[in-house]
Amino acid sequence: MPLNKTLVVSFMLGVAVIGAFASQANAAAQEGIVYNPTTGDYTVTYKSGYSGQLEVVTFIPATKIDPSVKSVYKTVGYISMSDKGRTVFSYEYKVKNGAKSQQRINQTIVLVRSLVSGSLASPEGWPGNAVLALGGGGVRLSWSTLAREELRGLAPGAVLKDMALESLDLPGVARMEIMGNRPITKWMSHYPAGEVGDQMDLLLNNDFIPRMVAVPRIPVPNPFDAAAVLASLKTHLDQDLVALKLVEPALVTELDRWLDAAIAAAKTGNSAALKADIKELRKLLKREYGEVDKENAGEDFDDENKNKPAKRQIDKLAARVLDFDLNYVEKRIKGDKD
């Protein structure tokens, strides 16, 4: 059974279900893209713009992998001894390629809000790259292997370490895109055009396995502003965590109620009420995971990526990240600057 069973579902976005995903028998008889559940590959049939004849090409996706990711985030100090109002947070990632994967892993991509210049660290042979994301909205980080083609990437069962960065932003949760080492597709005459080309673009844009990781996401104003941090945290909860399906609506409602109260207390300078509201927020998270407030050392590979909101009202990584941020705010309003 191929490891990208869920991939096909994500393509059913009203685009005639990827060339109608016609039966395998009709693959060479009409234009379209056909998924082979036995091999996990796609047969792409399209009309040549030169001869008008149908061309048939096999597309092998980069999703024949079963990766896990471990993310560790912590407070490491200040941007400088003369500027203790700006805290630096470190982020480190480890990627494991599942033993049953059919491909090596050769690239990871994640979007972060910001990072400290010169802080990007990379494993040997896996140079990191940081560029502004298209359309704004953060920095696109990627780590890709430079190994020779036959040895390209992280082998099944192996672990990749030392992908790291530092940021002035508190953690949030985002999707890391992980790609296997698929062979280059050799198009018969040219890349498909028209509807098949659009469908192929959709396949390529989704040609990865997603895993959730902690990333720099919540800005910390200088001078410190508890209301602003909590408002950003609430936005992250209501928009990002909800969109990623990492939290149940009932818990979002409970958390929002206390976040609204905490933001109001922070704006009016009511420190006692603010501390009490943060305490209630952290109690809600601890209700889901009793160890949520323990020192972050990174989740186990299996725990971090396979916990489902159906079992709890919030994903374990998301709960830990929210608690970490609330704990930081609590320390700052108490005057205990880490």
| Tens of each residue's pLDDT in the chain, 338 residues | 344 433 333 333 333 333 333 334 444 468 999 999 999 999 999 988 777 789 999 999 999 999 999 999 999 886 544 455 689 999 999 999 999 999 999 999 999 999 999 999 999 999 999 999 887 779 999 999 976 665 679 999 999 999 999 999 999 999 999 999 988 888 888 899 989 999 999 999 999 999 999 999 999 999 999 999 999 999 999 999 999 999 999 999 999 999 999 999 999 999 999 999 999 999 999 999 988 887 665 555 654 444 444 478 999 999 999 999 999 999 999 874 44
CB 176 within 8 A of CB 93: yes
250-258, long-range: CB < 8 A, 24+ apart: 250/313, 251/284, 251/288, 251/313, 251/314, 254/284, 255/281, 255/284, 255/322, 258/284
Name beta bridge partners: 328: none
* pTM listed for this prediction: 0.84
Domain parsing of the chain, residue ranges: 67-182+210-217, 221-334
Q: How far apart are CA 142 and CA 320, in angstroms?
A: 24
Residue (of 242, 236, 243) closest to 214 by Cα position: 236
Q: How far apart are CA 85 and CA 103, in angstroms?
A: 46
Would you identify the CATH topology of the domain 67-182+210-217? Answer: Immunoglobulin-like (2.60.40)
Which residue do the tokens 């912590």 mark?
Answer: 74
